[in-house]
Amino acid sequence: MEINKILEYQTLDSELFKLEKSLRDNQDKKMAAQMQNNAKIAQERSLKLDEKAKELEKEYQNAKNQYQVQKKKMDEIFEKDVDKLSKEEVEKLEKLKDKLAQNLSILERNFAKIAENMSGLLSEFNKTKNAFQMAKEQFARCKQNFDKAQSQALPRQQELTKKLTSLEKGIDAKIIEEYKKRRAENIFPVVVSLAGNCCGGCRVELSMANISKLKENGILTCEHCHRIIYLK
């Protein structure tokens, strides 16, 4: 087994692995995802605020209608010619007037409350709008940075991939397959030397039978971490 070829392959691959990892862990990429989420939250929030605004609008219309009805009743009382009414009728009217005045004052308080809620809603709506705008801007900035990092890494990635493909041809297909499986699981390095009697990757001790096998074949798959162990 040409262990040197695999090691050469791995050395080259480690640069590619690092490049890929740095793109995976890219802060701008993470931030962009976060900002996208923030924008979504802000959007959902403004939909809810919109619903609340519609409810308030209904409340306002309702209060306005009630106010007009009570006000009309009140106006009717003032239009009456009191001189033509009996004492009882006047007393009844006075009571009704008091009641209407009370209702109107309650409705006025309602208006004030609705106005207060409206203004609170509006300020929250503006806050949400700003949060959305900020998230959108930050997302665009982060995405631009990440795209740049990605396109900067691309030529070297392509170059390394090409070299690896050509090196691959000189290595046992089975080993390459095993190697790629581990690498896809982000286990790196895949090929490790025997360290004492232990796997150079996971440090678990090999059985005597496995050590014999390793000595016989030159390589062995670790039973614990599935890395490829070789003898130095």
* Residues engaged in binding Zn ion (CB under 5 A): 199, 201-202, 222, 224-225, 227
For Zn ion, the closer of residues 35 and 206 by Cβ is: 206
Residue 218 CA, distance from chain mean position: 48
User: In the complex, what is the shortest distance from the CB of residue 178 to Zn ion, in angstroms, rounded to a whole number?
Assistant: 13
How many C-beta atoms surround the C-beta of residue 191 within 10 A? 23
Strand-strand pairing, 198-199 and 228-230: unpaired
Q: How far apart are CA 232 and CA 218, in angstroms?
A: 9
For Zn ion, the closer of residues 32 and 199 by Cβ is: 199
For Zn ion, the closer of residues 91 and 223 by Cβ is: 223
User: In the complex, what is the shortest distance from the CB of residue 187 to Zn ion, in angstroms, rounded to a whole number?
Assistant: 9
Amino acid present at 77? I
User: Which of 4, 9, 22 is CA-nearest to residue 178?
Assistant: 9
User: In the complex, what is the shortest distance from the CB of residue 164 to Zn ion, in angstroms, rounded to a whole number?
Assistant: 23
For Zn ion, the closer of residues 182 and 227 by Cβ is: 227
Question: Do the Cβ atoms of 171 and 9 come closer than 8 Å?
Answer: yes
* Strand, helix or coil for residue 199: strand
User: In the complex, what is the shortest distance from the CB of residue 223 to Zn ion, in angstroms, rounded to a whole number?
Assistant: 8
User: In the complex, what is the shortest distance from the CB of residue 218 to Zn ion, in angstroms, rounded to a whole number?
Assistant: 17
Place of tokens 């209407």: 100
For Zn ion, the closer of residues 29 and 227 by Cβ is: 227
Residues whose CB falls within 8 Å of the CB of residue 136, separated by 6 or more in sequence, listed in order: 35, 39
